[in-house]
């Protein structure tokens, strides 16, 4: 007699190991593994990095020594420049450079930087810092007429002035004023010898604060009330302001007389303030003007007035110079500021130009005008330039941000090889602020496809959805893709949730209470009729909101949104050993997280467990104590209930058992904002360990991460760990990538020292475990994730997955031959084991036989009850056997 499996229904009678977490039987009748770390089927492990952003949030200053000859530059460090000036703070004969720093990519409790001029120019040799947190502007002037230059900053939206003490300007010589301001400039507007501060308030009001000997600024004069224009907004990094091309309070000197520039969006006005009474000197009908400058641009001894315009940062616009009853047009792009400066023997117009909606790396201009009205423009590379200025004979670009704007970055799959990984061997797949990815055969054609989960963080109003890139026998063509209509997608999970023979896809997202499940079908994923699971109260009333509506609707930022609308990474596994995949749902800002229990009826919030662990961003699982149940491991992003150290989070382990997960059966281990987790035996003691990335600690993004060593019984200690140095790590995978028998660790580093274009790491395992000294650096672009599922069996991370036949009650008592039909890869294998017993109950306690290869003839005696299991092996998840038939001959 022959026991044969050769179609879907035959295989369905058996049992998939671990509830089908990494195995399924396709409708075509192919038994196979799901996750595949060998994208090109060459037998080597490949690693996916979900690149998300390329911004440099702490870019250096560019110093151009000879801008009319070339655009070469040297650099100086900064900390998130928002403004800066050259001024003379001491009688050294050199100009000093003062930098206002707003946010360094981590926090805005920053200092201003002072580079003191010297015979070597501006350099790091003479450098000091001043406490000017969250500063968005800086000016200098002799505000108290003591013959020395004071410094005025906008710090946290209010005025702070540093004055000279006995030892000059220092960290403690400052005064704060309860004066709100958006922009400032320095000018002696009434020509009384005291420098004054010309401010534009947040409500659009233009005003002069009059200088006095006590630095009181108690007297002020209203100059003009203009319509309110949009204030600085946060970028993708918390607390970081985008530069805005909006009107500034600028003072200009026209033919030796100070004038105050005002723009209301329709016209520009120039006021003077004789006797502290504002009088309109003249005006121009120019729409969307942002700044003005004046100087002897035509070498005539008379001042020309320049006005820069910005209404659309993505298109070239016309700005203007007014001189001798002439109006001269010149082209600008995203103009932000203009100044007339003396450089190389004559006055020239320096035009600061910022980012467009695609690139931060644009250009600014130095424009030289001739007497006949012609002009020449020299374009210099700048990074979302805050100001292009001149000092000590050098042109300096004060860069705010570099890189791309929207997050339209390619994800990278680094291809392993005989010599490991390198920066040249990789595949690129377009994404849109991608955060997650998976490599798997999603259409059962034997080839690995790639799903890219896009969150569109930088440009959520556009949100193109997520992408599936389909591989063919000719490889990948990026045009051969399917768009999955996710909404700010931020995590995925795949599996045959319904035991249907098709893989299903679950996706969650941010600012979105909906978990969407796209069911697999014969024609691919059913994208038009997904299952929608709404978290939180009154699900029948909930509608996923467009991005433009989110911050205008009244329930935004309520506890409901905080607890249910901020899903990040998902994870699927069979947590209760019932043979059905369950779905873990994170809640990165919530007080709880969730498990949707799987079953024949599918997922539902009516069958959901709530776990009382706050601010969870990710999950993983393993059987850490060998009891046959998965333990659920959660990574905490931060804490809602800590203030000073809110990013002091936890790795939380819920210990699995037949009683399920319980709040008094969990372990919490300290970490710093662990947005990803991986499990492996990192010290080769035969026991699984846990590694958690470190993304942020509130003050720094370049951190040590935690590797906790296991004891074998599920115990982990806060005293038994190893630190690994990383850069805002957000993604990790463990496995024996090079096949040397030791567990390696790949870590995706989101940004290093403020720059998203940084390096990620592969730490190489060895007899002494992992080390900062033994790693490969891979150039990545702000990855926010890798793949959430580790290579190997989820229980123990070994290479084998198991398929179990049903139990046979047989009269034949001799096992003659075992065979199967399978396609194998370079690192895959198939074996068969069996067990037999007199009763079905006792069969469960029997040991499995030795492993048999295809075509083996055991000629073994059998008892009444018989069962076999098939081992589907893949070294470090490289490939999968594709088994289409199993035949057992008994007689």
Give the H/E segment covering residue 843. helix 840-843
Sorting pLDDT into bands at 50, 70 and 90, what band is 556?
low
Q: Is the pLDDT of residue 234 over 90?
A: no
What's the DSSP call for residue 405?
S
Residue 631 maps to a domain: yes
Residues 48 and 117 both lie in one domain: no
> In a 10 Å sphere around its CB, with 0-12 CB exposed, 13-18 middle and 19+ buried, how is residue 147 labelled?
exposed
Is residue 771 within 8 A of residue 90, CB to CB? The reply is no
* Phi, psi torsion values for 784, nearest 5 degrees: -110, 10
pLDDT at 135 over 90: yes
Residue tagged 């309860």 (tokens): 178
Residue 518: pLDDT above 80?
Answer: yes
Q: Flag whether pLDDT at 232 surpasses 70.
A: no
- Locus of tokens 């006590």: 214
pLDDT at 646: 86
Q: What is the DSSP letter of 629?
A: S
Question: Is residue 713 domain-shared with residue 829, that is, in the same domain?
Answer: no
Domain membership flag for residue 644: yes
Q: CA-to-CA distance for 256 and 786, rounded, in angstroms?
A: 61
- DSSP E strand boundaries for 120-264: 127-131, 135-141, 150-155, 158-162, 174-180, 183-187, 196-200, 205-209, 220-225, 250-254, 257-263
Q: Which of 239, 235, 186, 230 is nearest to 384 (CA)?
A: 235
Q: Summarize pLDDT for 684-741 with one digit per residue, the tens.
A: 999 999 999 999 999 999 999 999 999 999 999 999 999 999 999 999 999 999 999 9
Query: What pLDDT is stored for residue 230 in this prediction?
Result: 55
The CATH number covering residue 809 comes to: 2.60.120
Looking at the structure, tell me whether residues 738 and 598 fall in a common domain: yes
| Closest residue by Cα to residue 839 from 874, 866, 875 | 866
Same domain flag for 375 and 446: no
Task: Please give the average per-residue pLDDT across 548-554, as a whole number.
Answer: 60
Q: Of 785, 819, 847, which closes a domain?
A: 785
Whether 886 maps to a domain, the answer reads: yes
List, in order, residues 6 or more apart from 479 with CB less than 8 Å away.
none
- The tally of CA atoms less than 13 A away on the side-chain side of residue 759 is 11
Residue 467 placed within a domain: yes
How many separate domains does the chain show? 3
| Per-residue exposure over 149-164, b if at least 16 CB sit within 10 Å of its own CB, e if not | bbbbbbbebebbbbbb
My answer on whether 157 and 213 are in the same domain is yes
Which range marks the domain in which residue 764 is found?
A: 36-53+407-785
Tokens of 378: 């020299």
- Token pair for residue 507? 């996706």
Q: How confident is the model at residue 554 (pLDDT cuts 50, 70, 90)?
A: very low
Q: Assess whether 820 and 858 both reside in one domain.
A: yes
Cα–Cα distances (Å) from 226 to 243, 261, 264, 860, in that order, read 20, 12, 5, 94
User: Which one has a higher pLDDT value, 719 or 545?
Assistant: 719
- What is the C-alpha to C-alpha distance for residues 643 and 319, in angstroms, rounded to an integer? 48
The backbone region for 475, taken as left when phi is positive above 0, alpha when psi lies in -120 to 50, beta otherwise, is: left
Of 404, 436, 453, which closes a domain?
404
Span 199-213, pLDDT tens digits: 999 999 999 999 999
Q: What are the DSSP calls for 799-829, one per residue? A: SEEEEEPPPEE-S--EEEEEEEEEE--TTEE
Helix (H, G, I), strand (E, B) or coil at 631: strand
pLDDT digits (tens, 9 = 90+) for 441-450: 999 999 999 9
Cβ 288 vs Cβ 266: under 8 Å:
no
d(CA 219, CA 177): 13
Between the CA atoms of 88, 89, 94 and 97, what dihedral angle is there, to the nearest 10 degrees? -80
How many whole angstroms from its chain centre is CA 663? Answer: 31
Would residue 26 count as lying in a domain? no
User: Domain ends where: 373, 404, 435?
Assistant: 404
- Whether 307 and 429 share a structural domain: no
Q: Which pLDDT does position 346 carry in this prediction?
A: 97
Nearest to 311 by CA among 329, 288, 284, 335: 288
Q: Are residues 334 and 416 in the same domain?
A: no
How far apart CA 888 and CA 868 sit, in angstroms, is 9
Residue 243 confidence (pLDDT) = 86
Which residues 6+ apart lie within 8 Å of 73 measured at CB?
A: 62, 63, 64, 65, 380, 381, 397
Quickly count: other Cβ atoms within 10 Å of residue 68's Cβ: 14
- How many residues comprise the chain? 891
Do 763 and 813 sit in the same domain of this protein?
Answer: no
Question: Which pLDDT band holds residue 231 (cuts at 50, 70, 90)?
Answer: very low
pLDDT of residue 645: 74
Residue 810 lies in a domain: yes
Contacts of 181 (CB under 8 A, 6+ apart): 137, 154, 157, 158, 159, 199, 200, 201, 202
pLDDT at 157 over 70: yes
* pLDDT band at 226; cut points 50, 70, 90: confident
User: What does the pLDDT read at residue 174?
Assistant: 98
Beta bridge partners of 289: 309
- pLDDT at 284 > cutoff 90: yes
- Assigned domain for 298 exists: yes
pLDDT interval class at 235 (50, 70, 90): low
Which pLDDT belongs to residue 802?
A: 99
Helix (H, G, I), strand (E, B) or coil at 840: helix
pLDDT digits (tens, 9 = 90+) for 566-594: 999 999 999 999 999 999 999 999 999 99
Residue 18 belongs to a domain: no
Instruction: Scan for tokens 């040397």, then name that residue.
Output: 740
Q: What CATH number has the domain bearing residue 219? A: 2.130.10.10
pLDDT recorded at residue 17: 98
Same domain, yes or no, for 283 and 420?
no
Same domain, 47 and 108: no
361-370: long-range contacts (C-beta < 8 A, 24 or more apart)? 361/402, 361/403, 361/404, 362/333, 362/334, 363/333, 364/388, 364/397, 365/332, 366/67, 366/68, 366/395, 367/330, 369/297, 369/298, 369/304, 369/321, 369/328, 370/298
Q: Please provide the average confidence, as pLDDT, over all residues in the chain.
A: 96
Which percentage of the chain shows pLDDT scores above 90?
94
Per-residue pLDDT averaged across 363-369, rounded? 98
Burial label, 627 (beta-carbon count in 10 A; 0-12, 13-18, 19+): middle
CA distances from 571 to 38, 493, 620, 855 (A): 21, 6, 7, 38
Q: Within 10 Å of residue 625's Cβ, how many Cβ atoms?
A: 19
48 and 104 in a single domain? The answer is no
| Dist. CA 555–CA 566, nearest whole Å | 14
């Amino acid at each position: 007699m022959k026991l044969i499996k050769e179609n879907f229904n035959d295989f369905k009678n058996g049992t998939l190991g671990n509830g089908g977490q990494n195995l399924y039987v396709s409708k075509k009748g192919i038994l196979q593994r799901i996750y595949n770390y060998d994208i090109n089927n060459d037998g080597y492990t490949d690693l996916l990095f979900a690149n998300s952003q390329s911004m440099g949030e702490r870019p250096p200053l560019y110093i151009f020594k000879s801008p009319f000859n070339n655009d070469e530059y040297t650099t100086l460090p900064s900390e998130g420049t928002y403004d800066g000036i050259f001024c003379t703070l001491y009688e050294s004969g050199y100009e000093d450079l003062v930098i206002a720093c707003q946010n360094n990519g981590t926090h805005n409790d920053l200092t201003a930087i002072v580079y003191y001029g010297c015979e070597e120019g501006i350099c790091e040799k003479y450098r000091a810092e001043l406490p000017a947190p969250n500063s968005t502007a800086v000016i200098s002037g002799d505000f108290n007429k003591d013959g020395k230059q004071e410094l005025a900053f906008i710090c946290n939206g209010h005025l702070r002035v540093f004055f000279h003490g006995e030892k000059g300007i220092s960290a403690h010589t400052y005064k704060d004023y309860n004066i709100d301001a958006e922009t400032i400039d320095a000018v002696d507007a009434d020509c009384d010898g005291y420098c004054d501060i010309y401010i534009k308030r947040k409500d659009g009001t233009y005003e002069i604060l009059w200088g006095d000997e006590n630095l009181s600024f108690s007297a002020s004069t209203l100059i003009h009330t203009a319509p309110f224009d949009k204030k600085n907004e946060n970028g993708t990094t918390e607390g970081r302001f985008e530069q805005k091309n909006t009107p500034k309070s600028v003072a200009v000197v026209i033919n030796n007389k100070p004038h105050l520039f005002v723009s209301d969006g329709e016209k520009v006005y120039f006021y003077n303030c004789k006797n502290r009474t504002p009088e309109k000197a003249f005006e121009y009908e120019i729409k969307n003007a942002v700044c003005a400058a004046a100087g002897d641009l035509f070498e005539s001894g008379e001042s020309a007035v320049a006005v820069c315009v910005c209404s659309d940062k993505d298109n070239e616009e016309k700005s203007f110079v007014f001189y001798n009853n002439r109006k001269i047009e010149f082209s600008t792009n995203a103009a932000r500021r203009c100044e007339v400066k003396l450089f190389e023997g004559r006055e020239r117009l320096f035009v600061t130009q910022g980012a467009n909606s695609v690139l931060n790396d644009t250009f600014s201009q130095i424009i030289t005008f001739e007497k006949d009205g012609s002009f020449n423009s020299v374009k210099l590379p700048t990074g979302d330039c805050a100001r292009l200025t001149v000092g000590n004979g050098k042109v300096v670009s004060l860069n705010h941000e570099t890189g791309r704007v929207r997050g339209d970055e390619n994800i990278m799959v680094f291809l392993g090889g005989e010599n490991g990984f390198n920066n040249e061997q990789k595949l690129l797949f377009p994404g849109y602020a991608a955060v997650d990815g998976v490599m798997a055969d999603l259409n059962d054609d034997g080839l690995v496809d790639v799903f890219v989960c896009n969150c569109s963080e930088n440009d959520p109003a556009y949100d193109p959805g997520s992408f599936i890139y389909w591989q063919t026998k000719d490889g990948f063509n990026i045009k051969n893709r399917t768009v999955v209509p996710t909404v700010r997608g931020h995590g995925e999970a795949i599996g045959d949730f319904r035991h249907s023979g098709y893989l299903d896809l679950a996706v969650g997202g941010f600012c979105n209470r909906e978990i969407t499940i796209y069911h697999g079908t014969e024609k691919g994923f059913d994208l038009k009729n997904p299952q929608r699971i709404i978290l939180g109260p009154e699900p029948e009333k909930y509608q996923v909101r467009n991005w433009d509506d989110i911050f205008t609707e009244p329930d935004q930022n309520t506890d409901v949104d905080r607890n249910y609308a901020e899903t990040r990474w998902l994870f699927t596994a069979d947590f209760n050993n019932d043979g059905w995949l369950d779905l873990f749902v994170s809640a990165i800002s919530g007080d709880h997280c969730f498990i949707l229990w799987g079953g024949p009826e599918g997922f539902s919030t009516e069958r959901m467990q709530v776990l009382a662990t706050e601010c969870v961003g990710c999950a993983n699982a393993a059987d850490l104590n060998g009891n046959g149940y998965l333990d659920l491991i959660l990574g905490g992003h931060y804490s809602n209930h800590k203030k000073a150290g809110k990013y002091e989070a936890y790795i939380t382990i819920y210990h699995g058992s037949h009683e399920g997960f319980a709040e008094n059966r969990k372990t919490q281990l300290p970490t710093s904002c662990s947005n990803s987790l991986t499990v492996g035996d990192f010290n080769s003691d035969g026991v699984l360990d846990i590694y958690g990335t470190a993304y942020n600690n509130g003050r720094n993004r370049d951190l040590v991460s935690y590797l906790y060593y296991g004891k074998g019984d599920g115990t982990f200690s806060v005293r038994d760990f190893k630190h690994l140095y990383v850069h805002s790590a957000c993604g990790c995978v463990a496995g024996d990538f090079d096949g040397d028998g030791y567990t390696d660790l790949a870590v995706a580093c989101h940004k290093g020292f403020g720059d998203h274009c940084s390096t990620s790491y592969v730490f190489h395992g060895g007899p002494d475990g992992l080390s900062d000294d033994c790693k490969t650096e891979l150039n990545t672009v702000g990855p926010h994730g890798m793949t959430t599922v580790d290579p190997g069996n989820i229980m123990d991370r070994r290479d084998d997955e198991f398929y179990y036949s049903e139990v046979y009650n047989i009269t034949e008592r001799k096992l003659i031959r075992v065979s199967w039909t399978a396609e194998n890869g370079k690192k895959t294998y198939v074996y068969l084991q069996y067990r037999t017993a007199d009763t079905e109950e006792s069969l469960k306690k029997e040991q499995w036989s030795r492993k048999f290869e295809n075509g083996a003839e055991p000629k073994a005696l059998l008892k009444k009850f018989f069962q076999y299991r098939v081992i589907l092996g893949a070294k470090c998840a490289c490939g999968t056997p594709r088994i289409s038939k199993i035949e057992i001959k008994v007689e």
